[in-house]
Amino acid sequence: MTDIETTVLSLGAQADGIAEVDGETIYVPYVLPGERVRIAREEGGRASLSKVLEPSPERVSPPCSHFTRCGGCTLQHMAPTAYAAWKREQVAVALKARGIETEVEPLVAAPPHSRRRATFALTRTKKSVTAGYYARGSHDIVLLSECPLVVPEIERFIPRLGELIQPGLSRRTRASVLVTSTANGLDVAVTGGKPLDGPLRADLGGHAQAADVARLSWDGEIVAERRTPEIDLSGLRVILPVGGFLQPTQEGEAALIALVRAGVGEARRVVDLFAGCGTFSASLAGTAAVHAVEGEKPALAALERAARMYGPGFGLKPLTTEARDLARRPLLAEELNKFEAIVIDPPRAGALAQAEEIAKSKVPVVASVSCNPVTFARDARTLLDGGYRLDCVTPVDQFLWSAHVELVGIFRRG
């Protein structure tokens, strides 16, 4: 098919350029608004970029040699100022769609080489193992020689990933490998490899020792633990559960905590909903009694253990926990009313059922953390309709060069 020349009108929510061709909306990756481009049309209203004919003043050279081949990043070609403005605008657009008019604060940026966890795809070939990220819209794995997203210790380890788990790979399977940088070394969690048996377990253990990883787990089972992988949460040394949730960057985590603490203020009784391993609970317990509620029992157990071991030495206020599936059984308004502040950090799907109960409550302040502006706006509408006001919204960029953005919103009664 003959290439088509067109002008990029804007960027969509997934950071693809939007153009109009013969009355049809076309989505094109790796372009910027205002650029004149040559594209090759594909099925489903999509196109690939053939050439940039007239580049935008905001176009910059991408910092990674794998950009456009690797599917991990979509916006490395965008100048930092324009990039920050676009991410901030995504939050404003999501709020406006729910009829919420409020000032969105400037984006809190994430630096390169700050991601302390990343998931890699691995497959075995006749002669070697390929380790990398999936190509955009494909099951092909792009062999990585660098990654400016991740912390240096993970970037240096990428070439050794294949050597580490090679015994557990076959040419018929693809493994997903989550690598996390912890205080005691790298934690490597593998899913999708060969089934474990005695010989494979021993072989992997030997490879883990040679690679000097802190822990290696296989489909949820620990096969080698040379050092306990711990994370520092505001002074609490928490043992990271296998595959457990962790904020992607330390810088982003610190920004989220600061925003939540400022929003909660002098509240002395706080409930932390979707508490995970205690990112916010650990910090808030320095000045307030905190009740942490989480559905993932391993995460809650890790927080409980850390609080018992380290809490007295740090002078923490009482930190209690409750295992509860908040999607199915949210805390009711009467349960919430004994607290002076609510912190909530739900998954991408949001927490509509819990928001409905918060809206019925009398709690003075709610600090809402979200990794999805669309579901945040939906749940925020519920709180506003229940009598809260939205004081401020601050976007935080933990997913550099992608379309994703996190945010913190502070709601107050009256």
Known catalytic residues are 371
**Residue 29 CA from chain centroid, whole number:** 22
User: Which residues does residue 235 pair with via DSSP β-bridges, in sequence order?
Assistant: none
> What value, to the nearest 5°, has the Cα angle with vertex 63 and ends 61 and 65?
100
3 state DSSP class of 236: strand
State the Cα–Cα distance between residues 378 and 388, nearest whole angstrom. Answer: 14
Phi, psi of 251, rounded to the nearest 5 degrees: -65, -45
State the Cα–Cα distance between residues 248 and 220, nearest whole angstrom. Answer: 20
Paired tokens of 326: 């908040």
State the Cα–Cα distance between residues 256 and 410, nearest whole angstrom. Answer: 12
Between the CA of residue 310 and those of 30, 181, 233, 303, 304, what are the distances in Å? 48, 22, 11, 10, 10
State the Cα–Cα distance between residues 102 and 94, nearest whole angstrom. Answer: 11
Phi, psi of 183, rounded to the nearest 5 degrees: -65, -25
Q: Where are the beta strands (DSSP E) in 234-303?
A: 236-239, 269-273, 289-294
Question: Length of the chain in residues, anyone?
Answer: 414
Q: Which residue from 151, 147, 153 is spatially nearest to 64, judged by alpha carbons? A: 147
To the nearest 10 degrees (0 to 180), the angle between helices 373-385 and 352-360 is 20
Paired tokens of 255: 């920004």
State the Cα–Cα distance between residues 103 and 392, nearest whole angstrom. Answer: 7
